[in-house]
């Protein structure tokens, strides 16, 4: 049975597993319209009530909007983002933030989103974002177009600063509450709690590293050699024990995180259902302890993302 948690002090309640829509934008491979509609239906029917999307995810917003009838819209919370529109296309200006949200609302077929975040802020100078960009977020919240505002990205330094300075409601960080790295829980959560920021977790399998094929991701992943070596050792140990490393990664990330929800991005029903099972299946504690013993050294558990000064 799907479980739910409070999203910090926002007044929203979210499923512990949420759905990331990168697959709807075909980021992980082709997905036809009929399969996209079926996937969204399956997500809602499973009890998942938070769906995360972005203009950066291609046609994801448009497809999600087509899948959400008025009745289905009432069953879910929608989070979208702004500021990142392509691999190297960033614009966090107030005008673009506003026009982006207006476009997202049209595509999604709704008059508001429940969560609105600045996407991958670490790639730009943070001072204008924390001042002008966040001020525009607050204005849109005051207008009722977004119930909660926040930002998403990767580096610890960026988000520790954001929690202290911006008055945001939520933040989404990825690959920070995993078998490889618990810095969301150990470093960010205390700062977030002091400042009233709710946490959303993503990338339980560390962008594919913690999957049976993770050792073969040569040149396709930002992870450093120590992280890659640790992941390979974890995969090998899980295989030796007859366990699925991805399933254990989801178990740990969903069940042990201090975040309210963990975003699972997939275009495959079997992966979605596996994540839902992982949320409620008891963890093999001995296997987990042995896997965690293979983690990189504490100062080697993150990779770099964005501008050097934001890491």
Give the Cα separation of 311 and 301 in Å (integer).
13
Give the Cα separation of 99 and 106 in Å (integer).
11
Of 163, 154, 166, 158, nearest to 194 by C-alpha is: 163
Of 256, 245, 169, 177, nearest to 214 by C-alpha is: 245
Burial per residue of 163-189, b for 16 or more beta-carbon CB atoms within 10 angstroms, e otherwise: beebbbbbbbbbbbbbbbbbbbbebbb
Q: Higher-confidence residue: 28 or 21?
A: 21
Q: Report CA dihedral (5, 6, 7, 11) to the nearest 10 degrees.
A: 150
Of 162, 64, 164, 170, nearest to 116 by C-alpha is: 170
Give the Cα separation of 300 and 148 in Å (integer).
33
What is the token pair recorded at 2?
A: 């799907």
Q: Which of 56, 57, 154, 163 is catalytic?
A: 57
Given a cut of 80, is residue 112 above it in pLDDT? yes
CATH number listed for the domain at residues 4-310? 3.20.20.100
pLDDT in tens, 275-299: 999 999 999 999 999 999 999 999 9
Mark whether 123 is an active-site residue: no
Largest CA distance in the chain: 55
Provide the pLDDT confidence category of residue 218 given band limits of 50, 70 and 90: low
Mean pLDDT, all residues of the chain: 97
Domain map of the chain by residue range? 4-310
Give the Cα separation of 227 and 63 in Å (integer).
35
């Amino acid at each position: 049975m799907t479980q739910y948690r409070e999203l910090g002090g926002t007044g929203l309640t979210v499923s512990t597993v949420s759905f990331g829509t990168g697959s709807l934008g075909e980021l992980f491979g082709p997905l036809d319209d009929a399969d996209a509609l079926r996937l969204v239906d399956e997500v809602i029917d499973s009890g998942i009530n938070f769906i995360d999307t972005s203009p950066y995810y291609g046609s994801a917003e448009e497809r999600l909007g087509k899948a959400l009838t008025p009745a289905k819209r009432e069953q879910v919370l929608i989070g979208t983002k702004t500021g990142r529109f392509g691999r190297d296309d960033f614009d966090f200006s107030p005008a673009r933030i506003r026009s982006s949200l207006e476009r997202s609302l049209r595509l999604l077929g709704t008059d508001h989103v429940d969560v609105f975040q600045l996407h991958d802020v670490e790639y730009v100078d943070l001072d204008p974002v924390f001042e002008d960009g966040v001020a525009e977020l607050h204005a849109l919240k005051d207008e009722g177009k977004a119930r909660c505002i926040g930002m998403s990205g990767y580096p610890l330094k960026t988000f520790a600063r954001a929690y202290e300075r911006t008055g945001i409601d939520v933040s989404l960080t990825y690959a920070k509450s995993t078998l490889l790295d618990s810095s969301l829980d150990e470093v960010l959560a205390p700062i977030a709690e002091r400042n009233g920021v709710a946490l959303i977790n993503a990338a339980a399998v560390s962008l594919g590293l913690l999957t049976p094929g993770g050792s073969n991701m040569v040149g396709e992943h930002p992870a450093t050699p120590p992280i890659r070596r640790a992941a390979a050792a974890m995969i090998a140990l899980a295989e030796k024990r007859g366990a699925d490393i991805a399933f254990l990664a989801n178990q740990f990330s969903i069940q042990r995180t201090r975040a309210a929800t963990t975003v699972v991005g997939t275009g495959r029903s079997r992966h979605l259902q596996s994540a839902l099972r992982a949320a409620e299946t008891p963890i093999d504690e001995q296997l987990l302890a042995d896997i965690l013993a293979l983690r990189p050294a504490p100062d080697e558990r993150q990779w770099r993302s964005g501008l050097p000064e934001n890491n």
